[in-house]
Amino acid sequence: MASQASSATLLSRQLKEMQNDKDLSNISVGLVDDNIYQWEVMLMISDDCKFYGGGFFRARLDFPKDYPLSPPKMRFETPIWHPNIYDNGEVCISILHPPRDDEFGYESAAERWLPVHTPETILISVISMLSSPNDESPANVEAAKQWREDPQGFKKRVRKCVRDSLEMC
């Protein structure tokens, strides 16, 4: 029980810090139904982002009770076409993978979740991932294939996601 209380205290502090950080003007965070373990996120992607610039993408972070020992799960609620995002919106990025050796040998344990990561570092990594997909280990094989083989078609589909994200705001 002490672990759950300390994780809630840590998350409360991290939420407050992010909400007060003027340098994070492109990230908005809040709670879902006053639950400290469920965060609503809005990523407002700057125009200098190669593909997703100008988009407003809503997502959720769901934290486990033993955070920061275990990573949260992140899922986009706004539809988004990306090699590292499953069709259901779940984000597949190394720092959100559990802290152990990869059974397939693709990632080292050091690339995976570490308790030093924060919601801020996660969201900044996801924004970076939008510009630089990892198509070698895709969550969305179709998007990765299009990224490699049809860059113009990929860009067109992503621009539609951006337009749709603005209509959903």
Which pLDDT score is estimated for 75?
A: 98
Asked if pLDDT for residue 130 goes beyond 80, the answer is yes
Mean of per-residue pLDDT scores for the chain: 91
User: What does the pLDDT look like over 34-83, one tens digit per residue?
Assistant: 999 999 999 999 988 888 999 999 999 999 999 999 999 999 999 999 99
| All structural domains of the chain with their residue ranges | 2-168
Beta bridge mates, 76: 59
Please name the residues in contact with 136: beta carbons below 8 A apart, sequence gap of 6 or more: none
- CATH number for the domain running over 2-168: 3.10.110.10
Task: Give the confidence band of 135 by pLDDT, cuts at 50, 70, 90.
Answer: confident
- Check: CB of residue 91 under 8 Å from CB of residue 76: yes
Asked if pLDDT for residue 25 goes beyond 50, the answer is yes
Please name the residues in contact with 83: beta carbons below 8 A apart, sequence gap of 6 or more: 133, 134, 135, 138, 139, 140, 143, 144, 147
Which pLDDT score is estimated for 142?
A: 97
Asked if pLDDT for residue 2 goes beyond 90, the answer is no
Give the separation between CA 169 and CA 163, rounded to whole angstroms.
10
Beta strand pairing call for 56-62 and 27-32: unpaired
Asked if pLDDT for residue 129 goes beyond 70, the answer is yes
Q: Where are the alpha helices (DSSP H) in 21-150?
A: 119-131, 141-149
Residues with a known catalytic role: 92
Inter-CA distances, 150 with 35, 154, 159, 169, Å = 42, 6, 14, 29
Which pLDDT score is estimated for 99?
A: 75
Asked if pLDDT for residue 137 goes beyond 70, the answer is yes
Task: Give the confidence band of 155 by pLDDT, cuts at 50, 70, 90.
Answer: very high
Which pLDDT score is estimated for 101?
A: 62
